[in-house]
C-alpha cells in the first residue's frame, strides 16, 4: 500500500535579514514523498532546495503550514526533544562538503559515531560499520585517518556514517558535487542500491541532470516554489522552462530537442538516454531516400 514518508502542505519558511525583515525562501510548498521512492530535487543556487532539506530534517522549523515526517506531525506544539532526535535518525542527511561531516580520527570510528550515540550493542555496531563500509566501497580504508583521504573518499565515509544509523530516508544535499566522474558514478550506484535493495527513501538534491534522470521522480524548485514535478521524461521535456530556471537538460536530450524543434526531425518528445536516441536517429537516417 502506498504510504507517504513525508507530507508537506502550504509549507512556508523565511530567513531574517539584518533589519529583521523576512526573506521568504520556501513559499507555500505542498508535496508528498512516497516511502521507498527515489526523488531528485533540482533547482538553481538559491532556489531554496537546501533550505527545504533542512526543514525535512528538522534542522530548521517551518514558519507555517503542515509537515508530517514518518507519520509524526513536526508542527505539534508538544513535540519532545526525543521525538526530534528520533526523526533525525530516521531522516539522514549527507551534505556537500565532507570536511564538515567527519568527526573522528579513524574512518571506522567515524562511522561508529552515530550508532554509538544511539546506544547500540558493540557487536551490532561492528556489523553495521563493516556493512556500511562495504556499501560505499571503502572497506580497505577502515583504519585510515579521514584527513588522509581525498574529498571523494571522505564523502563516501560520510554516507557510510548515515547508513550505519539504518535510516528510513536519506537526503543527499549535493553530495556528489565534489567527486570526480567515476567517484560520482560509484556514489550514484550506492545511492541507487540503498533505494532499490534496502528500500531506503532517497531525496537527491543535485545540479547534475544525468543523475536526476536516474530517479523515479524529479521535482524542480524555483524561488521557493515547485516549478515542475513528475517523471524524468515529463520534467525534461520542458527544456526552455528548465533553462530559464538556470538549469539544463542532459546533453543528448538537448541535442534531440534541438533536432526536433529547429530542424524538424520526427523524434519522440523527450529522449533521456543515449541508447534510445541512437535508435531513434538511426531509424530516421535509414528512412532517407528509402
Partner 1 sequence: MENTPKISLENVTYRYSIGTPFEKAALRDVTLGFEGGIITGLMGHTGSGKSTIAQLLNGLLKPTEGCVKIDGKDIWEDPKKIGAVRFRVGLVFQYPEYQLFEESVERDIAYGPRNMGLDEEEIRRRVIDAARFTGISPEIFAKSPFELSGGQKRRVAIAGVMAMDPEILVLDEPAAGLDPKGRAEILGGIRAYQREKKNTIIIISHSMEDMAMYADKLMVLDHGRVSRYGDAHEVFAHAEELKSVGLSRPQITKFIMELQKAGVPVEGGIYSVEDAYNEVLRVFAEKKKGGAVNAP
Among 22, 181, 199, 268, binds partner 1 (CB under 8 A): 181
SS3 content of the chain, % helix, strand, coil (to 5): 40, 20, 35
The b-or-e profile of 7-39 (16+ CB within 10 A means b, else e) is bbeebbbbeeeeeeeeeebbeebebebebbbbb
**Among 24, 65, 70, 183, which residue sits at the site for partner 1 (rule: CB under 8 A)?**
183
If the CB atoms of residues 118 and 278 are measured against partner 1, the closer one turns out to be 278
CB of residue 170 vs partner 1: minimum separation in angstroms?
A: 19
For residues 190 and 222, is the Cβ–Cβ distance under 8 A? Answer: no
CB of 195 to partner 1, least distance (A): 23
Among 26, 87, 162, 247, binds partner 1 (CB under 8 A): 247
Chain residues 139-158 in contact with partner 1, contact rule CB under 8 A: 145, 148, 150-153
57 three-state secondary structure = coil
- Is 266 a binding residue for partner 1 by CB under 8 A? The answer is no
Give yes or no for residue 288 binding partner 1 (CB under 8 A).
Answer: yes
Residue 123's CB: how many other CB atoms inside 10 A? 8
> Cα(252)–Cα(113) distance, rounded to whole angstroms?
43
In the complex, the smallest distance separating the C-beta of residue 178 from partner 1, rounded to whole angstroms, is: 6
CA dihedral 209, 48, 90, 62 (to 10 degrees): -160
Site residues (CB under 8 A) for partner 1, limited to 42-71 = 43-46
CB–CB of 215/204 below 8 Å?
yes
Confirm or reject binding of residue 22 to partner 1 (CB under 8 A). no
Q: Hunting for cell 539544463 — which residue is that?
A: 248
Does residue 102 bind partner 1 (CB under 8 A)? no
The answer to whether 278 contacts partner 1 (rule: CB under 8 A) is yes
Q: How far is CA 223 from CA 26, 227, 290, in A?
A: 8, 9, 50
Q: Which residues contact 246 (CB under 8 A, 6 or more apart)?
A: 44, 45, 47
153 φ, ψ to 5°? -65, -40
Residue ranges in 203-232 that form contacts with partner 1 under rule CB under 8 A:
207, 209-210
d(CA 223, CA 132): 36
Residues that contact partner 1, how many (by CB under 8 A): 49
- Which residue lies nearer to partner 1 by CB, 79 or 254? 254
- 117 or 261, CB closer to partner 1? 261
Q: Which stretch binds partner 1 (CB under 8 A): 51-59, 118-126, 223-231, 258-266?
A: 258-266
Q: How far is the CB of 44 from partner 1 (least distance, A)?
A: 4
Which triple of cell numbers denotes residue 278?
541512437
Instruction: Choose the stretch contacting partner 1; rule: CB under 8 A; options: 83-91, 119-127, 130-138, 171-179.
Output: 171-179
- Which of 1, 2, 17, 78 forms a contact with partner 1 (CB under 8 A)? 17
Q: Kindly list the residues in this chain that would bind partner 1 in the complex (CB under 8 A).
A: 17-18, 43-46, 96-97, 145, 148, 150-153, 174, 177-183, 185, 207, 209-210, 246-248, 250-252, 254-255, 258-259, 263, 274-275, 277-279, 281-282, 284-285, 288-290
Amino acid at each position: 500500500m502506498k504510504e507517504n514518508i513525508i507530507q508537506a502542505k502550504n509549507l512556508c519558511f523565511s530567513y531574517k535579514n539584518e533589519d529583521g525583515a523576512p526573506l521568504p525562501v520556501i513559499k507555500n510548498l505542498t508535496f508528498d514523498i512516497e516511502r521507498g521512492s527515489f526523488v531528485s530535487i533540482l533547482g538553481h543556487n538559491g532556489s531554496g532546495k537546501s533550505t527545504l532539506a533542512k526543514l525535512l530534517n528538522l534542522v530548521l522549523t517551518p514558519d507555517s503550514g503542515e509537515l508530517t515526517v514518518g507519520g509524526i506531525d513536526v508542527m505539534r506544539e508538544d513535540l519532545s526533544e526525543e521525538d526530534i532526535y528520533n526523526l533525525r535518525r530516521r531522516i539522514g542527511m549527507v551534505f556537500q562538503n565532507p570536511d564538515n561531516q567527519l568527526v573522528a580520527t579513524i574512518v571506522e570510528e567515524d562511522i561508529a559515531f552515530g550508532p554509538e550515540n544511539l546506544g547500540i550493542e558493540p557487536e551490532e555496531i561492528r556489523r553495521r560499520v563493516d556493512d556500511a563500509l562495504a556499501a560505499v566501497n571503502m572497506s580497505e580504508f577502515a583504519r585510515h585517518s579521514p584527513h588522509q583521504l581525498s574529498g571523494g573518499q571522505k564523502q563516501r565515509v560520510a554516507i557510510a556514517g548515515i547508513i550505519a544509523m539504518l535510516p528510513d530516508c536519506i537526503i543527499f544535499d549535493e553530495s556528489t558535487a565534489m567527486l570526480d566522474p567515476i567517484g560520482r558514478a560509484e556514489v550514484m550506484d550506492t545511492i541507487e542500491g540503498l533505494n532499490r535493495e534496502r528500500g531506503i527513501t532517497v531525496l537527491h538534491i543535485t545540479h547534475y541532470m544525468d543523475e536526476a534522470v536516474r530517479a523515479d521522480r524529479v521535482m524542480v524548485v524555483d524561488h521557493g516554489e515547485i516549478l515542475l514535478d513528475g517523471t524524468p521524461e515529463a520534467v525534461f521535456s520542458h527544456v526552455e522552462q528548465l533553462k530559464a530556471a538556470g538549469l539544463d537538460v542532459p546533453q543528448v536530450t538537448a541535442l534531440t530537442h534541438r533536432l526536433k524543434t529547429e530542424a524538424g526531425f520526427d523524434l519522440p518528445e523527450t529522449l533521456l538516454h543515449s541508447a534510445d536516441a541512437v535508435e531513434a536517429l538511426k531509424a530516421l537516417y535509414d528512412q532517407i531516400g528509402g
